Structure formats: structure tokens, C-alpha cells
Structure 1
Amino acid sequence: MIDLEPAAREIKGLLDGVGTTRMADGTPCPEYSVGALLDHLTSLALAFTWAARKTPPQERAGDVSPPGGATAEHLDPRWREVLPERLDALVEAWRDPEAWKGTTSIAGLTMPAEQVGVVVLDELVLHGWDLARATGQPYDCDPASAEVVLAFAGATAQPGQEAAREGLFGPVVAVPADAPVFERALGLAGRDPAWRP
């Protein structure tokens, strides 16, 4: 089991520093503006909570942008309240040992639950860093989460894993081999650790 709380807490700590005039600003994730990234985070928190609880698709009801469909226009006007609530629910759902057993579904795909748990941590860490960089705030990735993201992004960077990487990460960014773990994870995930707005 992986603890999502440190990554979720880091995102929540960024929200007060996101001004409403920044919604159209770019982020290190080229397909998302700040507003679209917040919509994506709000949606994924709910979708991955359903995955942890193994909620059947017909019982899922909520405001979720489809994969790749997040936009600033779709962002809930109450995002400063809604996103922290959904992150808290997400953390709690994945603390249940049953969440990590068997298979579950996310974005129309059925996958081993353990793998889905790794994917959601990866999403929280990378998009938390994206949000921090785009809004000029510090970001602190805890060592355990950094190691998980490094292993996950590294596995997708291996030859023959192009299909698994498609739509998840951009091209690998070269980072010195002796760089800190989190910077190496960022590079493998297609992000430049030196990115600035």
C-alpha cells in the first residue's frame, strides 16, 4: 500500500496561492492551462476514489471531465472547496487494504488495483509539481513518493514500452544521473526540472 496523503497535502497547500487571474497560464504539462489542470485534478480525485472503492460504473455520479477533456471552463467555481474535499476522500479510500486487491476500473480500463494505486500517486505528484511551477510556488515531494514515481516513469521509459507511455508522459528529458531522485523522476516523466513560466 502507498500513502497518498503527502502528495494530496502538497496540492492542497498550493491552492491559496493560485490566483483567479492565472487560469489561462501555461504549465509544464503542455496540454493543460492552470485552470484545466485544476479541473483535471478535481476529476481524477473523484474517478480514482471510485476506483479504490470499486464502484460499478452505473453507480458513479459526479462531475468528472473525460480523459483528456479537462478545461478551465469546466472547472467547478467552488474548486477551492471541492478539490480538497475530493483529495481527502481519495486518500481515505486508498487507505483501505481492500482498495489494493484484485482489479478495478479507471477511464474505461480494467487494471490490477495495485497498478491503479501507483498511477494515482504518479498523477498527484506530477500534477502537483506542474501546478506549483506554473504558479511560482515551492513543491516538496516526500522521498517515498519520489521513489515510486521514479520507478513507474522509469519502467515506461524502457524500450518496448512506448504504447504504455503514450498519453501518459512526454518524451524523456535528460537529467544528470547524480541528480536528486525527484528530478530524475521528473525527467523520466517528460518534464524539465528547470521549467519556469
Structure 2
Amino acid sequence: MAARLPLDLDPPVRQLRALLLGVGDRELTAPTPCPGWSVATLLDHLISLAEAFTQAARKGADASGDGPPAPPSAGHLPPHWRSRLPVLLEELATAWQEPAAWRGAARAGGVTMPARELGAVAANELVMHGWDLARATGQDFAADPRVLATLIDFLAAGPPGGTPGFLGPRVRLDPEEDTDLARALSLAGRDPRWRPPRRDVPPAQRHREQPPAARPA
């Protein structure tokens, strides 16, 4: 009988891969729920975290070295990200399907911790950044309920004020917003109500889009 894993990273990876198909070139400069990050910056971060957490699962060398990873940058996003990122995400999910990935200690982002906790961090990154990408590009998002349940327990154990570089301060929810996804988002320091700012239409385009005035009979 196969050993049961603490978490299955395949559902959030599959959803992220599907969301990537909905990212056009025009969306790369769009803002995301991550302050100061464009979609291109978020994609660059996803490439780095996929590589780092795959190495962590394999108990390999920390891709970021001994210190924290370099800040993500839209300028660093490779031109072939559409073909590269889905493969990296699939390798990440596959690496954490091995029971050995969850044993002992593991290291990513210059931080060493129990592998079970680091696997939960990886799941949180995938879910939260999947939601970030969906909101920024106007796509639907629905997280796996089993993954959400684990993340809620994991995030609830953290400090309410957040963890610098990882989680922001918790966001207060209204009673009608209290779903599992909203709860996980708020515990991770995200506002479930976030929407991208409306882009102003240039005056010339607004003029073109106005219907012609009705002529008097």
C-alpha cells in the first residue's frame, strides 16, 4: 500500500498550469494583489519558487544559496516562459509525490525547516499565487478543498501580524465572506475583495466607442 502523503501539490499545480493559458502579452503589465508586482513579476517569482521547492523535495542544493533569493523582476522573465514554467511546475508536483520528500529537513529560499512544514509552504505559495494570477487576469479560481483545509490549519498557527517576506498581516473578513478560500486568503494576508484597478480608456478611444447621436426626424 502506497504511503499517504501529508499534501498533494498536484491540484494547485494543475490549476496554475491552466491559468497560464489565459495570460496574454497584454496582461503581463497588469497589477496583481502582491503590492508592486505586475503579472510578469509574479511569473518570474513562480519560476524561481518552482525550481527552489523542487530542489527542496529532492534534498538537493538550495537554488537560492545561503541567503534569501533575489527579488523577482519583470525584466528577468525569460521570453520562453510559456513553455518553461508549466514544465517546472509539473516537476515540482512530481518531486513532492515522493514520500522521502516529506521526511527530515529541507531547505529553500535560504531557510531550513522540517520537510513537512516546507511542503505546506510550497502548497501555500502555489494556491496564493494561483489566486493572485487569476484575479490579475480576470480568470476563475477554485482551490482544492483538502488543500485549503490543510493550509487554513497551517496559516492559523502563524502570528496574526504576519511574517515579513512570507505572509502579510491577517485581513478581517465580513461574515458573508467567510468561505474556506476567503479564510485562507485572509490568514495569508490577502484581501479576498481585491480587484485590479480599472484601466482608463484614452479619450480618443472613448470618443470612437460612443454611439452616434440620433438624428432628428
- TM-score under structure 2 length normalisation: 0.81
Match of 1:5 among 6, 10, 29: 10
Structure 2 gaps, min length 5: 1-5, 197-217
Bigger shift: residues 27-36 or 42-51: 27-36
Partner residue of 1:194? 193
For 2:75, the aligned partner's letter is: E
Q: What do you get for the CA RMSD once the two structures are aligned?
A: 1.7
Once the 2 structures are TM-superposed, how far is the Cα of residue 177 of structure 1 from its aligned partner? 5.0
Match of 2:171 among 170, 173, 192: 173
Once the 2 structures are TM-superposed, how far is the Cα of residue 56 of structure 1 from its aligned partner? 2.6
* 1:164-197 Cα deviation digits (max 9, x unpaired): 7122122211113561111111111111111111
Cα distance between partner residues in 2 of 1:166 and 1:72 = 22
After superposition, where does 1:52-63 map in structure 2 within 5 Å? 52-57=57-62
Percent pairwise identity: 48
Once the 2 structures are TM-superposed, how far is the Cα of residue 67 of structure 1 from its aligned partner? 2.9
* 1:39-87 Cα deviation digits (max 9, x unpaired): 1011101110000000134xx59xxxx6351111101111111111001
Cα distance between partner residues in 2 of 1:73 and 1:5 = 29
After superposition, where does 1:1-150 map in structure 2 within 5 Å? 1-57=6-62, 67=69, 69-150=71-152
Cα distance between partner residues in 2 of 1:68 and 1:175 = 33
- SS of residue matched to 1:69: coil
Structure 1 residues 153 and 102: alpha-carbon distance in aligned structure 2, compared to 1, 3 A threshold: same
Cα distance between partner residues in 2 of 1:108 and 1:171 = 22
Cα distance between partner residues in 1 of 2:130 and 2:70 = 17
The runs of at least 4 aligned residues of structure 1 exceeding 2 Å deviation read: none
Once the 2 structures are TM-superposed, how far is the Cα of residue 152 of structure 1 from its aligned partner? 2.1
Cα distance between partner residues in 2 of 1:18 and 1:119 = 25
Structure 1 gaps, min length 5: none
* 1:16-47 Cα deviation digits (max 9, x unpaired): 21111222211111142100000101110111
* 1:119-171 Cα deviation digits (max 9, x unpaired): 0000000000000000000011010111122122211144xxx5x71221222
Cα distance between partner residues in 1 of 2:7 and 2:93 = 10
- TM-score under structure 1 length normalisation: 0.89
For 1:191, the aligned partner's letter is: R
Cα distance between partner residues in 2 of 1:170 and 1:131 = 18
